[in-house]
Amino acid sequence: MSTPSTTPAPVLVLVPGATGAPADGGPRFHLADATVPQLSVTDLVATRGDGVFETIGAFDGRPVNVGPHLERLARSASMIDLPAPDLTTLAEAVDAAITAHDPVAELSVRVMLTRGIEGADLPTCWIHARVSDDWSPYRAGMRVAVLERGLSTAIADTSPWLLPGAKTLSYAVNMAAVREAKRRGAADVLFLASDGYVLEGPTSTLLVRRDGEFLTTPVSAGVLAGTSVTSLSSWLAAQEGAGVREQLLTVADVAGSDGAWLLSSTRLAAPITHLDEVELPVDHELTARFEQVLTGRA
Residues lying near ligand PLP in the complex (CB under 6 A) are found at 55, 200, 203-205, 224, 226-228, 263-265
Output 126 or 191, the one with its CB closest to ligand PLP.
191
Evaluate the CA torsion angle 163, 164, 168, 169 in order and state its sign.
Answer: positive
Evaluate the CA torsion angle 33, 37, 41, 44 in order and state its sign.
Answer: positive
Output 114 or 205, the one with its CB closest to ligand PLP.
205
Gap between the Cα atoms of 119 and 140, Å rounded: 47
- Measured over all CA atoms, what is the biggest interatomic distance in the chain, rounded to whole angstroms? 59
| Residue 41 Cβ vs ligand PLP, minimum distance, rounded to whole Å | 26
| Residue 61 Cβ vs ligand PLP, minimum distance, rounded to whole Å | 19
**For residue 139, what are the CA distances in angstroms to 6, 52, 206?**
23, 27, 14
- Strand 124-131 and strand 62-63: the pairing is unpaired
Q: 3-class DSSP state for residue 273?
A: strand
Output 43 or 200, the one with its CB closest to ligand PLP.
200
Output 107 or 117, the one with its CB closest to ligand PLP.
107
| Residue 35 Cβ vs ligand PLP, minimum distance, rounded to whole Å | 25
Output 14 or 206, the one with its CB closest to ligand PLP.
206
Cα 98 to chain centroid, rounded: 18
| Residue 40 Cβ vs ligand PLP, minimum distance, rounded to whole Å | 25
Q: 3-class DSSP state for residue 271?
A: strand
Output 63 or 226, the one with its CB closest to ligand PLP.
226
The residue number with the shortest CB distance to ligand PLP is 228
Evaluate the CA torsion angle 68, 124, 134, 184 in order and state its sign.
Answer: negative
| Residue 51 Cβ vs ligand PLP, minimum distance, rounded to whole Å | 14
| Residue 68 Cβ vs ligand PLP, minimum distance, rounded to whole Å | 7
Cβ proximity of 77 and 83 under 8 Å: yes
DSSP 53-101: EEEEEEETTEESSHHHHHHHHHHHHHHTTPPPP-HHHHHHHHHHHHHHS
| Residue 50 Cβ vs ligand PLP, minimum distance, rounded to whole Å | 17
Output 227 or 287, the one with its CB closest to ligand PLP.
227
Output 124 or 203, the one with its CB closest to ligand PLP.
203
| Residue 42 Cβ vs ligand PLP, minimum distance, rounded to whole Å | 26
From the list 127, 149, 152, 22, the residue with the least C-alpha distance to 66 is: 127
Residue 117 DSSP class: B
